[in-house]
Amino acid sequence: MIEIRFHGRGGQGAVTAAEILAKAAFQDGKYSQAFPFFGVERRGAPVLAFSRIDDKPIRQRYQVYEPNYVIVQDDGLLKVVDVFSGLKKRGKVILNTKNSVEVKEEYDVYKIDATGIALDILGVPIVNTVMLGAFAAATGEVSLDSIIKIIKETFPGKIGEKNAEAAKIAYNQIKG
């Protein structure tokens, strides 16, 4: 079982990202689960969402406390939330930033300017699909094809196409 924790701000689509990831993993033939820590937070406040992926049906129903991966959709969160909390040793962090951010050595941090990609491609700073492309590249836990398929299902039409393109750019950037 692998567990993923999403850190975002209300309105950035962290909950949708967790669901797209679960659906993509399911598309890859795995079992998966995604759920928000559903607060009453409004737009802008820090939010949490979780995904689990496994080869067998997932029964457990509690929050993710020791993730294998953490996705941080906004580097501003580093100052207010301990995004590394419980992260497994050698766990990977996918971090949206264009700055040089100091992080602990025990984690593998993948930095990506997702906001820049989102602004270029989508014209709005919504980074959830971009981060999923980066996640697929950094971890290999889910295929880019499935991510793209589910993104297009989630956002039909042109918006879906653009989001898929943004995810692909992020994927390629991480892959180098």
Q: Can you say how many angstroms the Cα of residue 71 is from the centroid of all Cα atoms in its chain?
A: 5
Pair 73, 114: CB distance under 8 Å:
yes
From the list 2, 5, 32, 170, which residue makes contact with other proteins (rule: CB under 8 A)? 32
62 binds other proteins (CB under 8 A): yes
Name the segment binding other proteins (CB under 8 A); options: 18-26, 77-85, 95-103, 165-173.
18-26
60 binds other proteins (CB under 8 A): yes
26 binds other proteins (CB under 8 A): yes
Name the segment binding other proteins (CB under 8 A); options: 32-40, 71-79, 122-130, 167-175.
32-40
Strands (E), the chain: 2-9, 31-37, 46-54, 69-72, 92-96, 108-112
Residue 62's CB is within 10 A of a number of other CB atoms, namely 6
**Pairing mode, if any, of strands 31-37 and 92-96?**
unpaired
Q: Which is nearer to other proteins, 141 or 165 (CB)?
A: 141
| Alpha helix positions (H), 29-143 | 114-121, 128-139
How far are the Cα atoms of 13, 18, 50, 161 from residue 158, in angstroms, in the given order?
A: 18, 22, 28, 5
Query: Minimum distance between the CB of residue 137 and other proteins, rounded to whole angstroms?
Result: 23
Q: Which is nearer to other proteins, 35 or 84 (CB)?
A: 35
How far are the Cα atoms of 14, 74, 124 from residue 107, in angstroms, in the given order?
A: 22, 18, 30
From the list 9, 11, 58, 161, which residue makes contact with other proteins (rule: CB under 8 A)? 58
From the list 61, 79, 89, 90, which residue makes contact with other proteins (rule: CB under 8 A)? 61
Name the segment binding other proteins (CB under 8 A); options: 17-25, 77-85, 98-106, 126-134.
17-25
Binding site residues, other proteins, CB under 8 A: 19, 22-23, 26, 31-36, 38, 40, 57-63, 65
